[in-house]
Structures are given as structure tokens and as C-alpha cells.
Structure 1
Amino acid sequence: MGTTLSELLRIRAEAESDRTALKVAGAGNLTFENWWRRSDAVAAGLLRRGVAHGDRIGLVFGNADWIDYAVAFFGVLKAGAVAVPLSDQLAAADLDTRLAHCGATLVLRPGELPTAEPEPAGGLPQPAAGDLAQILYTSGTTGRPKGVAASHANLGYGWGGRRRPFAHSQTLAHAFPIGTNAGQWMLANAVGAHPAVLTLGRFTPGRFARMIEEHRAGTVFLVPTMAIELLAAGAHVKADLSSVLLLGSAAAPLPARIAAELTAAFPRATIANYYTSTEAAPAQTVMLYDAGRPSSVGRPASGGAVRIATAEGAPLPAGQTGEVWMRSPTASRHYYGDEAASGSVFRDGWIRMGDLGRLDADGYLYLVDRESDIVKSGAHKVSTLHVEEAVYEHPGVVEAAAFGVPHDALGTAVAVAVVGAADHTELRAFLKTRLAPHEQPHHLITLDALPRNHGGKVDKRALREVVR
């Protein structure tokens, strides 16, 4: 089999024992050797407690617990079991539902890691490439959360080569939460990338900017919400962020205006937008910000592919809008315990993304909207992403979210929630020159903050309840 994440950790522990792999601001760090040794002890402790090959183990940790979480995750893999990462911010009922769905036999939390003296070399189970390694639950913003199952081959794809990613940096900073696909990507970076991976227990714009300044981070990853908050708070002028050479945005579309403002706030940095999903990883597209293509999410990277197709998977020509499908460069994932749902999303290595989009003649991908977010207003279909892009152009808007709400005559009407000081009358006049009549918001509300799930994504179902 190819290099698994556990094998990669062993290699780095042997070659770079004292090198820091993972840091939590104000809460310590973890070297490769300590990571290997401590996870060995957890694996031995799990086996001592009767954990069997393929058992699902819930890992319930908070963002201040990244070090213990990293140790627990690799301890589970080394024991031949399946890691189920879960945020401690989940409501008790939601947590119980996920644990019951995957049939977890044990739950690990901070300060509760079982340890034992490891057996002699070779005493731990050796998983096969196709063995299940991880179940990661989707955010559930468009429906019931699903458990996405990934094998060791899937998680280990692309790691272990001679050139380690982000070689320009000694430190990579992020604030992605545990229990998300972006968070798992950062965990893999801590094992396989060149820089030490740095995070913090709780994100605030000022705290995050000071962390970047103090550690001279050369690479920074965030979600668009965090970028918006950094810019709105002026954190980029209150801290020295000149060390940043790459600023990556992931997990949600990056509005064109925000991308342009980031280029000014981080003048030495390349701004990169990453597009993937929990289901599609490690397939992804990457877009280095280009003022000529401000709304594109880029072209395929990491050995994957993208096509626009019908619901049945039949390819459509460039320029035509259809469903976005991505092809995994390795063994694809599937929905755990849900063959029917898997069959509609995972087909012959291709993954149905649930987004509508188009490809231009050069192969650049443009998202039109989430399929579930398209507003079918009368005879028209309205892209909420297009509406949001227009609203973001107003200087008084800090954040914006467009969504559909019931309407007696139209069936569904466009609603927009904004954060910021924009006057509603002025904003409506502003939008008249930027949106078609059927795209104009029937409802416009101002909120102190947009509702979000634990992964940082806007909860549009909660917004609909506000308008009702």
C-alpha cells in the first residue's frame, strides 16, 4: 500500500525527532517523536481495553485540545480502529445521534486517553490500504448530517513525497475546528507538510493576527468568515502580517470583493481559494486570485478532475451550467451505512458535489450555487451566490447571505441578511443596477451576526426562521 498517515508519522519521528509538528498558541507543542510515542501508548491502551479491528471510536475534542486530539487520532489508527472526529461544540442530542449512527464502542475526550506500555515492535495491528480509517460527519446545513467514510489509502494519498508542501514557511497558522474536513486537512499537514502547524483555542481577529505576528507564520489558512472578520476589525493594520506569503481560503466560496481586499491587506501573499468537500477529498480545485477571474474557484489539483454534467453524470460542454462532479485521484469515500445515498453521490470514482456550476474554455470552474440553495422564484432560478456577490460590492456591507423564503405568488422569494451599517433604502437602490428584477431581495434584514454551525458555515435554515 502507499504511505499511510501513521507510517508517515513514524518516518518523520525517526528522521526529525525533535522537530515541532503541532503547536497550540499558549498551550504547548508536540514534536514528532512525542507524537509517535504518545500515540503508541494510546494504541496500546485501547487494545488493553478490548478495542478490536474496525471498532469506531468517537473523538470529542475542542479547539484548545488539538495536541491531545492529534495523539488520540493516531492512537486509534495504530490500534486498527476507526477514528470519528467530533466537535465538543455539538449539542448533546446531535453528538449522541452521530455516535449511535456509526456504532461507536468508545468515546475519548481530553484527559481521558487510555494508555499502556506498548508491545514490542510489530505488536500493533497493520491496517490494509482499503481498511476504514475515519468517519467524518458533514455539517448538515442542507439536510441530515451524513458520515463520510475514508480508507487509509484515501487519507494517505499524496503524502510522503520528497517535496513537502509549503516549503516556503516554518510555520503554518490556521483556526479550523476539530470535526471538519478542513480541520482534518490541517492534521494531515502537521504530519506531512514542511512547516509546523499552529492553531489557537478560540478564534478572534485580534488574537489570530497577533498569533501570526508572534510566530512569523508564512502560510495562513482560514475560512471566508474569518477573513471578513479580520478585515472588518482592521486586524491587518494592528499587527505585522508581513511574514505571510500564502493566504489560503477554504470550506466556502470566497466573495470577489473580500479576495481583492485580502490582496491589499496581505501585499506579500498569494491569495488561494480551495474548493472541495468532505465527500470529494482529496480531490480539489485551487485558484490563485486573478482579478480577471475574480469569481472562479480554479482548476483541478492533486491529481483529480472536474466536469459539469447532468444529474445522471453525462458530461456537458464548456460554458453550460450543470451539476459539478469531481473525480478522486485515489480510492473514493462513501457514506457509512447508507448505500442508497452513496449510490447517488459516488459513481465510478466521480463524486456529485451538490453544487451547480460551469467550466470556461480554459477549464476554470465557476460555482453558480448550491443546488439546494437555488431560489426558484416564479419562472426564474436565482443564484444566491450571484446575489451575495452584488450585495458585497456595497461598502456598508460587512457580511451577507442570500436565501429563499416562501412567497404566496412566486412560490419562493429572495431574502438577504446583512451585517453592517448599510441603509436598506440605499442598498436596494444600489442593487437595482446590479441585479435583475427577479433577483432583487423581497426581504432585507440586518443582523448583528449571521447564524453559523460549529464548522463556521452560514446556517440558511436558521435565517429562514428569522424572516418567518
Structure 2
Amino acid sequence: MTPAVVPVPRTVPEMLRLRAAQEPERAAVIVEGNGAMTFGEWERRSDALAHGLLDRGVRPGDRVGLIFGSWDWIDFSVAYCAAQKAGAVAVPLSDRLAPAEVRHMLAHCSASAVLYGRDLRPPAGDHWSAAPADLEGDAAGAVDVRVGPGDLAQILYTSGTTGLPKGVAASHANLVFGCETRPNRRRFGHSRHLLHAFPIGTNAGQTMLMNALDARPAMLTLGRFTPGRFARLIESYGAGTVFVVPAMAIEFLNAGLHERHDMSSVLLLGSAASALPPSVSVRLAAAFPSATITNYYTSTEAAPAQTIMIFDPARPGALGRPAFGGSLRIAGPGGDPLPAGETGEVWLRSPAVPRSYYRDERAGAEAFRDGWVRMGDLGHLDADGYLHLVDRESDVVKSGAFKVSTLQVEAALYEHADVAEAAVVGLPHPVLGTTLAAAVVPRSAGISGGDLRAFLTERLAGHELPERVLVVDALPRNQSGKVTKRELRRLFDAAATGQTEGT
């Protein structure tokens, strides 16, 4: 008997429609303490909300802001697909953003409407706002709006670590690239549950939403990450796939909860958003003995292009090779590829339709070229084609005649047994131009800058040693878990004027 041919979805709504037809009663999204939603419910509710949006005047191409807290992943998932079913462009925004940032983003994309989650206040602006429940009427059935693969589906704003956040536009073809239609071939087939704690409005969070639509396990999440709740969810659900950012991994390990909870169900532990320090990867491998520790390297601009690296002690700092038919190159200032071993700019290219900056042609011309995406990082390839990052291009410290990688100094700091977290920046210096400064969160009291400098002397060259070491209670991080270097420099400025204590 010839097996039935399953059509390949060309848009996000088609992905949901197919999954709801195949497995209507299967759990799609589970939020700890806030319920669950099946694929059938997801399809029905998003249809009803799409009708409500159309009744309120939303038209194809309109931008619809989506502001939901992490406890509202279910309503957010409904609103995201409903906006696209109405032919509109979904603009996910985190509730953790400052009001001024939200106003800037909504104004930049000229949002005509905003859907917002429970316990959140609708933002002011040139748009109308509503909670999804206010628009989910009695209308039933699919929405009669034509949506094509080339239509704009999503605008996602970057974290703004190097300036104002930029809107990254993605088409439906970009978002559905590589989706699987056969139930027995879906990703992460070893798992019934995929656990993460990424915020809504981030690239990592959106990747998890696509996994909820396409992968085998149900997406399991929680309103706010704490190591204790994360450990209990792994144990109680027997989660087979777990995704974190390095900051979460470090906090989890420092809490020692893997010593009190059963982590044996985890077969894949993936880290995204930034590179895991090698010493942290070693600790994760020990804490999750059944798991493959995997680093994913991409960006909001480059997705779905990425490199994937299964942690290899022989290559502890490597970030892998391109996956899923993508391409990777290291280029010089003129854009010409450099041979293995030479440091240059990192570029990624995906076989999917590329993304672009929304309403920012100047920045787009610098970041997007002939399908390639400039990552803003410096790195090199080894003889086997594995990527090794040197640093963010903007974070490399030029101290005197030397260029120093802050990532390399941070990796050395993480080798110290009493260092819980570390971050390194460059500060102005009257003679050298810039000098290195390290901020450290200790695991225990009594750690000093002198002790750390002595420790680093055995691991780093003289020009790589931080001139200043500041012991702090916490590192400033953005919604994606990345250290905000601008805020970090302010900590050093405050310490220099006596507003806080440092060493």
C-alpha cells in the first residue's frame, strides 16, 4: 500500500494545521502551574482569535505587537499564530523590557494593534490594545486569508547589546525551513518533554516555539527560572531534552541541585545565546551523566543558520561546524575568506530564505550580503573546520600593542574553584589606551582580587591579566541572559568613585 503523501507546510499556520490534524489530543505546550494546551486547542483558539483580529480591522501586512509574560506562554502561542492566520506580522516583545523600549519598538514597526497577557498593562501609542480573551469570540473554522511563504511573518528585536535594538524580519519560508511532517521523524524523538526557561521575545524563545510546533516532545516551561524549580521539573517530568543559556547553567551548577535530584532522564542538554565556558561544559557533563552536552551558535539575524558542537574535551572551546546544509566562513576586512588558523570576521549562511533588518537599510547592508550574515564576532577555523570564537568584535580589548580576547580571560577565571560567574571588559587607560577589568561573583566569601590575579598569572600572558578586579553580588544581564557590558563598565565607574566596594 502506498503511504499517503503529507504536504510540506509552507507557512507557520500550515505547520499548526497539519500538527492539529495529525495529533489533536497531544499536549503541545505545558506551563508549570498554569495549565497545558493540546494541538487541537491551539488550532481552534488561534482560529477564533484570528477572526477577532479581522473583525477589529487587522489586515494582511499589519504589525501586531505581542506582549506576554513567561507565565503566559499558552496565550502567547495562540496570539502568535492568530496574528499570522489573519495575514499580519507577529512582533513578540518581552514583558521584561523597559516601557521606553517597548514604545520604541512598537513605533519603529508601526504596530496597528497590541495583544497583551494577563496582569500586564497595555502600552500607550498609535494602536489599539486587547487581551486575547476579549477577542476570542464564537467564530469557528479556518480563516479565509491567503498567507504565502514569502510573506513577512515575524519581526523580532535584537537584545541591543551594541546599540539600539534592531528589528529582524523573517518570512514564513524562513521560519518553517527544515520542518518535519512525518511523526516518526520529528526532532528530539528521544523525549516526551522539552524543558526550557527562555523569555518570550528572544530568538531562543522563538526557536522553542517552533520546536513546540514541529518537534516530538511537548514544550515544557516555567514562568521564571530558578535552579530549584528547574531541577524539580526535570525530575518530575523525566525531561529528555533541556535547553539553557550559560547563565542558567552556571546558576544551576552552583546551586548543586544535580546532587539532590535525579538528572538521569536528560539525554540532550543544549546551550544557546552565547558560548559556554569550557570549564562549565566539563561541569555540566559531570552533572548530567546521561546527556550529550551541545552548544548552539547562531543569532537573531542568522537563524536558522547555525553551528552545532557536541562538547569534546579534545576541543573544549570549539563551537562546531555548520548544520542543516548551512555554510560558515572566516573573512578578512574586504570579505575574502581566510584560511584555517587565521582570525577574522565570522559569517554564516543558511539555505533558507535569509532574514533582514526591518526599516534599516544602512545596518542591513553591513550585516547581510548575498545570503551571508555577518555575526559581529571574531574567530578562526581549525584544520578540521571547527569554529573557535575569539571574541565579540566590539569587545576585543586593545591594550597597548596587544589585542586581548575577553572570552579567553573569562574562561580562565571560570577555572577558579571559588568563581561563580565572571565577565571582563575594557576600561580607558591614560597610557595603554584601554586596560582589562574583571567583575567576579564569588561562590564563597574571602575571595580577593590579589588571589585571582595570582591564579591567572599561571594561565595567561602578562598583557592579558586584568588590572582591576571587582567582586560583585551579581552581573548585569539582559533578558536573554547575556552580560550587558555597558552596565558592567558603570559598576567599575561607581567603584572608582567610592559608591560600591571592589578590589
Normalising by the residue count of structure 2, what TM-score does the alignment of the two structures yield?
A: 0.91
SS at match of 1:402: strand
- Which residue matches 2:4? none
2:136 partner letter = T
**2: CA distance, partners of 1:460 / 1:357:** 20
Indicate whether 1:333 and 2:358 are aligned. Answer: no
Indicate whether 1:131 and 2:156 are aligned. Answer: no
1:48 partner letter = D
8 Å CA contact 2:169, 2:358 repeated in 1: yes
**2: CA distance, partners of 1:425 / 1:384:** 19
Moved more, 310-319 or 85-94: 310-319
- Which residue matches 1:452? 477
SS at match of 1:274: strand
- Which residue matches 1:237? 259
Matches within 5 A, 1:419-430: 419-420=441-442, 421=444, 422-430=447-455
CA shift, 1:124, in A, is 2.5
Measured against aligned partners, the alpha-carbon deviations of 1:47-83 in whole angstroms (never above 9, x if no partner) come to 0000011000000011101000000000001000000
- Runs ≥4 residues deviating over 6 A: none
8 Å CA contact 1:8, 1:160 repeated in 2: no
CA shift, 1:116, in A, is 3.1
- Which residue matches 1:159? 179
**2: CA distance, partners of 1:353 / 1:82:** 25
SS at match of 1:231: helix
Q: Unaligned stretches of 5+ in structure 1?
A: none
Measured against aligned partners, the alpha-carbon deviations of 1:207-226 in whole angstroms (never above 9, x if no partner) come to 11001111110000000000
Indicate whether 1:313 and 2:313 are aligned. Answer: no
**1: CA distance, partners of 2:324 / 2:144:** 31
- Which residue matches 1:431? 456
Indicate whether 1:80 and 2:87 are aligned. Answer: yes
Counterpart pick for 1:226 among 224, 227, 248: 248
Measured against aligned partners, the alpha-carbon deviations of 1:384-428 in whole angstroms (never above 9, x if no partner) come to 001101111111111100111111111111010011143321111
- Which residue matches 1:256? 278
Counterpart pick for 2:426 among 391, 394, 404: 404
Matches within 5 A, 1:103-142: 103-111=110-118, 112-113=131-132, 114-118=135-139, 121=142, 123-142=143-162
**1: CA distance, partners of 2:362 / 2:294:** 35
**2: CA distance, partners of 1:424 / 1:338:** 44
1:155 partner letter = L
8 Å CA contact 1:400, 1:417 repeated in 2: yes
8 Å CA contact 1:3, 1:160 repeated in 2: no
CA shift, 1:379, in A, is 1.2
SS at match of 2:28: strand
8 Å CA contact 2:438, 2:468 repeated in 1: yes
Counterpart pick for 1:144 among 160, 164, 185: 164
**2: CA distance, partners of 1:176 / 1:382:** 31
- Which residue matches 1:266? 288
RMSD across aligned positions (CA): 1.1
Q: Relative to 1, partners in 2 of residues 1:100 and 1:33: Cα closer, same or farther, differing over 3 Å?
A: same
CA shift, 1:310, in A, is 1.8
**2: CA distance, partners of 1:116 / 1:79:** 15
SS at match of 2:67: strand
Indicate whether 1:416 and 2:438 are aligned. Answer: yes
Aligned length: 467
Matches within 5 A, 1:174-253: 174-253=196-275
**2: CA distance, partners of 1:310 / 1:329:** 23
Measured against aligned partners, the alpha-carbon deviations of 1:78-130 in whole angstroms (never above 9, x if no partner) come to 00000000011111111101110011111110150122344654x43121211
**1: CA distance, partners of 2:80 / 2:292:** 32
CA shift, 1:376, in A, is 1.1
CA shift, 1:242, in A, is 1.1
**1: CA distance, partners of 2:260 / 2:146:** 50
CA shift, 1:182, in A, is 0.2
8 Å CA contact 2:397, 2:426 repeated in 1: yes
8 Å CA contact 2:448, 2:471 repeated in 1: no
1:125 partner letter = V
SS at match of 1:226: helix
Counterpart pick for 1:368 among 390, 395, 409: 390
1:46 partner letter = L
8 Å CA contact 1:297, 1:364 repeated in 2: yes
1:141 partner letter = T
SS at match of 2:319: strand
SS at match of 1:296: coil
SS at match of 1:30: strand
Measured against aligned partners, the alpha-carbon deviations of 1:195-248 in whole angstroms (never above 9, x if no partner) come to 001000011000110011111100000000000001100111121111101000
Aligned-residue sequence identity (percent) comes to 62
Q: Relative to 1, partners in 2 of residues 1:144 and 1:311: Cα closer, same or farther, differing over 3 Å?
A: farther
SS at match of 1:128: coil
Measured against aligned partners, the alpha-carbon deviations of 1:292-335 in whole angstroms (never above 9, x if no partner) come to 00000111112211000023321110110000000022110000
- Which residue matches 2:66? 59
- Which residue matches 2:369? 347
**2: CA distance, partners of 1:465 / 1:258:** 27
CA shift, 1:160, in A, is 2.6
8 Å CA contact 1:332, 1:349 repeated in 2: yes
8 Å CA contact 1:2, 1:153 repeated in 2: no
CA shift, 1:5, in A, is 2.0
CA shift, 1:2, in A, is 5.1
CA shift, 1:144, in A, is 1.1
Indicate whether 1:285 and 2:307 are aligned. Answer: yes
2:347 partner letter = W
Counterpart pick for 2:30 among 13, 23, 27: 23
- Which residue matches 1:13? 20
- Which residue matches 2:126? none
**2: CA distance, partners of 1:118 / 1:108:** 18
Moved more, 160-169 or 26-35: 160-169
